[in-house]
Amino acid sequence: MRTATTVEFSTAATTTTGGDVVAFAVEAEKLGLDVCWVAEAWGADAVSALGYLAARTDRMLLGSGVLQAGTRSPVLVAQTAITLSNLSGGRFLLGLGASGPQVIEGLHGVAFGRPLARIAETVDIVRQAFAGGKISHAGNEFQIPRPGGEAVPMRLSTRAEHAIPVYLAALSPAMLRLTGRVADGWLGTSFVPEGASGAYFAHLDKGLAAAGRARGDIDVCQGAEVAFAADEDELRGMIAGRKRELAFSLGGMGSASTNFYNRAYSRQGWAEVAAAVRERWQRGDREGATALVTDAMVLGTTLIGTAEMVRARLAVWRDAGVDTVRLYPAGDTLEAKLSTLGRAIELVRDLG
């Protein structure tokens, strides 16, 4: 397996010299990390950060994890990707996602409807731009050039000097099938290897088969927090501390009617608990929602435990079909996070 992590500048106190997030990424490269993804969500934009990291690093791949389709035109996405790829010497991975109605409509004021069509058409237009020809698209979401005007198809004046892999963030069955059909990689979350076959891979494989491809043609990239406990007592404390975070994902993410994380957990065997957590969270009972989250739910979707437990869990992830493991290292300081990340990278290497 390859190793990756995700950084986010939204809550970091960055400075002109880089800040802790940049220092973390630079040191992570020295530890042998293969890929660094930069998140955007509803905070700092990913593109600016990726450009800065490209100048501060030399070897590891850099990816947008993710750019939100709908907040940028498809051609602007392509221009951005080509620029970052060329500047980084071909180290850029383009990660795209639909996000959700709360961010797309509530923050950006863009309609969220038909996210599947928007992503599919965006990928088609982006790939046209990468190929260097004139861009022409007549879809339900985008028309290039705009009909009824004086414009004719154009090509970009810049060229992609390297191949740019396209990754899609996907949780729903339909988006997973699309990922299998058109993407070079799948960015997933809420991943439980024991339930992944039916919840995720069955849909991904249908998309791959429809395009005449196999699992080896796509990079399966899954992420989870990694933390090391010295003993069982410390582990119990870790689990308790993470139940509220999971309760928020199940109950507070997305809009009042749309929560893709809740649906993902439901498809992996926790439908009743996920529904109950959501109901309590939505009516303001945060403590009650947190109390419903089980130890098994935390351990199933994280890489926390003793060193032996984490090593064994990584092997389960590998055997389930994960090609790139995205590690979110725990720690209260930069040094602690790097120490955790370094230990995890060594465990992945030991797996072979």
- CATH of residue 207's domain is 3.20.20.30
User: Do 97 and 137 fall within a single domain?
Assistant: yes
The domain in which residue 138 lies consists of 2-225+306-351
| Of 322, 318, 342, residue with least CA distance to 330 | 342
Cβ atoms of 165 and 94 closer than 8 Å:
yes
User: Do 121 and 167 fall within a single domain?
Assistant: yes
Mean predicted lDDT score pLDDT of the chain? 92
User: Do 251 and 221 fall within a single domain?
Assistant: no
Higher pLDDT, 266 or 208: 208
> How many residues in the chain?
352
CA distance 244 to 251: 10
User: Do 130 and 184 fall within a single domain?
Assistant: yes
pLDDT value at residue 18? 46
Place of tokens 């058109």: 182
Residue type, 184: D
User: Do 61 and 195 fall within a single domain?
Assistant: yes
pLDDT of 244 higher than 90: no
pLDDT of 253 higher than 90: no
Determine the average pLDDT of the residues in 36-61.
95
pLDDT of 352 higher than 90: no
User: Do 40 and 161 fall within a single domain?
Assistant: yes
Angle formed at CA 38 by CA 36 and CA 40, multiple of 5 degrees: 165
Number of structural domains (the chain) is 2
**247 three-state secondary structure:** helix
User: Do 333 and 240 fall within a single domain?
Assistant: no
pLDDT of 13 higher than 60: no
User: Do 194 and 310 fall within a single domain?
Assistant: yes
User: Do 137 and 258 fall within a single domain?
Assistant: no
Q: Per the structure block, which two tokens stand in for 169? A: 């963030």
Write out pLDDT tens, residues 145-194.
999 999 999 999 999 999 999 999 999 999 999 999 999 999 998 899 99
User: Do 154 and 290 fall within a single domain?
Assistant: no
User: Do 7 and 92 fall within a single domain?
Assistant: yes
Higher pLDDT, 11 or 306: 306
Cβ atoms of 317 and 193 closer than 8 Å:
yes
CA distance 323 to 339: 23
Write out pLDDT tens, residues 197-223.
999 999 999 999 999 999 999 999 999
